[in-house]
Amino acid sequence: MTWQSTGLDASTLAPGSMREVMVGTRSVLVVHIGTGIFALEATCPHIGGLLTDGTLSGPQLTCPEHAARFDVRTGAVLSDPFGVEPPEGGVDPVASYPTRLAAGIVEVELP
């Protein structure tokens, strides 16, 4: 895994907001909530919905396509499109990536 710059200045990402960025060939969703800045794969593993179009409520991100809910801190599934909570349900977690700041710029550690 290697650290890569998102090109995103952390000061431009307000708490409670998110922004999709390209890091190499990978689309990454950078999310700022009160506890920190987190990074996830930008598409829902269920049907490929664009998570940047989803709804963020605290650490919970809801997919705009079928309402699957994820924890932005870990990528864990909170409920699938039918409201079924783990360990049941048929949605995989969203890939999440470690983040850090380097001179105020958000970096992600990608495989």
pLDDT digits (tens, 9 = 90+) for 68-102: 999 999 999 999 888 788 878 778 999 999 999 99
**What distance in Å separates the CA atoms of residue 92 and residue 32, rounded to the nearest whole number?**
23
Domain with 45 in it: 2-110
Question: 33-60, pLDDT tens digit by residue?
Answer: 988 999 999 999 888 889 999 999 999 9
90 alpha carbon, distance to own chain's centre: 19
Count of structural domains within the chain: 1
Torsion of CA 81, 82, 83, 89, to 10 degrees: -80
More confident residue, 88 or 63: 63
- Contact in structure between 59 and 71 (CB atoms under 8 Å): yes
Report the pLDDT value the prediction gives residue 8, as an integer from 0 to 100. 96
Query: What is the reported pLDDT for 101?
Result: 97
CATH of the domain at 88: 2.102.10.10
Residue reference for tokens 């999709």: 20
